[in-house]
Amino acid sequence: MVDGGRAGGDARTGDPGTGAEGVWEERVQRAAHPLAYPALRSARRRPVVRVPRIGVVVSDAAIAREVLLDLDHFSKVGPGAPSDLWTPVLGPSVLLNMEGAEHAALRRALGPLFSPRAVRELVSGADVAGGAGTPGAGADGGGVLPDLTRRLAAGEKVDLAAAVTAQAGAVICGMVGLPPTDDAVRSAMSAARTITGMVRLHRHGLTRSQVVRARAVLERLTAPARVAYRAGDPATVPGRMRDLGLSEREAMGAVGAFVLTGTETIQSLVPRLVAIAHDTGWTTRLLADDAALRRRAVEEGLRVTVPTPAMLRSVRADATVGGLPVAAGERVVIATVNCCRAAGGFDPDRPVDPAVRHLWFGAGPHFCLGMPLAMAQVDAVLDALAAAASDGRVPVVGRRRAARGVLVPAYRSLELSLGESA
């Protein structure tokens, strides 16, 4: 394995890479969205264009940021916006479908739950608790990630996608007040996937039957959170939400939103990042004891994989988007996948365009509140992989399969074992 690092892709077209990383990224994206992804990518050479059944598609990062920051003309609430998708399922009081003073107040109330210390405790606590009985965990109850380290170091082949799913499931259990046993983790992950797997970009909302099904699934998922909230136990996330002054409806909506939108980000990013690092010769540098280098590589992985491939806004008042007139009620689709990939393939040594930086997490008042939790989970998995790599060995990718029927493109399985680095 050559570990010198190389740039991939074509900055003129925003292609994801010409080597194995580009081929596999295309497979992952198309497996998740066989219709919507090609439609979005076909618009990438024009900054703004109307696409039938999709909306006004924005593929330029600077224009996208302008739309996200212009709250007078573009909203998450309205026809074609996230409110169409999530309000029927989660209710009206979640960050995904709120604007203005109410949104700001709820965001301030939730802020302490996502402090660096709080997310570290949630991630480490979930993994320690997710010992024996958790998928991929050791019989000694050591947790998902310690077991990942042990098995790799022992020369076993492991499925990184399964391990990351189990770890994310343990975090879900921590958020909803469940002990992360085998059944609880599997049930939580299955419930979240059932709901998010219904979403399709070419549809403005869920069907009536899908809404009924999603509500039933979410009610089962959040039932322990409701119990924890009413008990007021500060050791649980719902209990802390009550201490912070959130109503039960706000707390349940927040739990549901974080479970649905946060877990797939982690399931998507980490295996894809490790695969891209393998394909481009970056594995040794990614796992090196260099925090700044890792952060650059992770952020470049986020740019290339784009955990939020598209963002939706409804036009509140007549305006223009990149010179194109739009009318109130129209749908604007920010093709984040086009905006972020415009620089080409994976290259952490390349300077980052300020317009693109963190765009995958949004901008302005709607910048992702859960980003610290996502980054803490990423670091935990990379730390586990780094702990396994020793004596010149690095994780090497074997067989892999792309996931189908998911909201955020991901690997269904990604086999890892330790091999020699050059």
Question: Total domain count for the chain?
Answer: 1
pLDDT digit string, tens, across residues 58-74: 999 999 999 999 999 99
Q: What is the layout of strands, in order, in the sheet containing 55-58?
A: 48-51, 55-58, 331-334, 311-315, 74-75
Q: Does position 359 have pLDDT exceeding 90, yes or no?
A: yes
**Least trusted range by pLDDT, from 68-72, 103-107, 145-149, 196-200:** 196-200
Mean pLDDT, rounded, of the chain: 83
Higher pLDDT: 128 or 276? It is: 276
Residue 141 has pLDDT above 60, yes or no: no
Confidence of residue 5 (pLDDT cuts 50, 70, 90): very low
pLDDT(9) > 70: no
What is the structure's pLDDT at 128?
Answer: 53
Nearest partner of 171 among 392, 412, 376, 411, judged by Cα: 376
Q: Is the pLDDT of residue 386 over 60?
A: yes
Question: Is pLDDT at 139 greater than 60 in this prediction?
Answer: no
Query: What is the structure's pLDDT at 1?
Result: 30
- The CATH number of the domain holding residue 29 is 1.10.630.10
Residue 356 lies in a domain: yes
Confidence label for 28 from pLDDT (cuts 50, 70 and 90) = very high
> What is the band of 151 on the pLDDT scale with cuts at 50, 70, 90?
very high
Q: Is the pLDDT of residue 10 over 60?
A: no
Least confident of 269-278, 366-375, 399-408: 366-375
Report how far residue 409's alpha carbon sits from residue 267's, in angstroms, rounded to the nearest whole number: 9
Of 202 and 349, which is predicted with more confidence?
349
Range of the domain at 240: 20-420
Q: What is the pLDDT at residue 101?
A: 80
Phi, psi of 57 (to 5 degrees): -95, 125
Closest CA to 302 of 351, 336, 257, 261: 336
Length of the chain, in residues: 422
Residue 181 included in any domain: yes
Choose the weakest-confidence range: 56-70, 72-86, 124-138, 389-403. Answer: 124-138
Percent of the chain whose pLDDT exceeds 90: 39
CA distance 21 to 24: 5
Q: Which of 68, 82, 63, 75 is nearest to 342 (CA)?
A: 63
187-231: pLDDT as tens digits: 766 777 777 766 666 666 778 888 888 888 878 777 888 888 899
Among 257, 258, 285, which Cα is nearest to 273's? 285
In this predicted structure, what is the pLDDT of residue 148?
A: 94
The predicted structure's pLDDT at residue 399: 96
Going by pLDDT thresholds of 50, 70 and 90, the confidence category of residue 161 is: very high
Q: 185 pLDDT exceeds 80?
A: no
pLDDT of 7 above 50: no
Give pLDDT, residue 327. 95
Q: Does residue 132 carry a pLDDT above 60?
A: no
The sign one gets for the Cα dihedral 97, 101, 104, 110 is: negative
Q: How confident is the model at residue 333 (pLDDT cuts 50, 70, 90)?
A: very high
Residue 146 in any domain: the answer is yes
The predicted model scores a pTM of 0.85
Quote the pLDDT of residue 383.
94
- pLDDT tens, position by position, 251-309: 888 887 777 776 677 788 999 999 999 999 999 999 999 999 999 999 999 999 998 88
User: Is 201 inside a domain boundary?
Assistant: yes
For the chain, helix (H) and strand (E) counts, in that order, are: 16, 10
- 323 located within any domain: yes
Q: Is residue 414 part of a domain?
A: yes
Amino acid present at 290:
D
Considering only residues 228 and 173, tell me which one the structure prediction assigns the higher pLDDT.
Answer: 228
In a domain, residue 322? The reply is yes
What confidence category does residue 135 fall into, taking pLDDT thresholds of 50, 70 and 90? very low
Residue 9 lies in a domain: no
Confidence tier at 182 by pLDDT (50, 70, 90): low
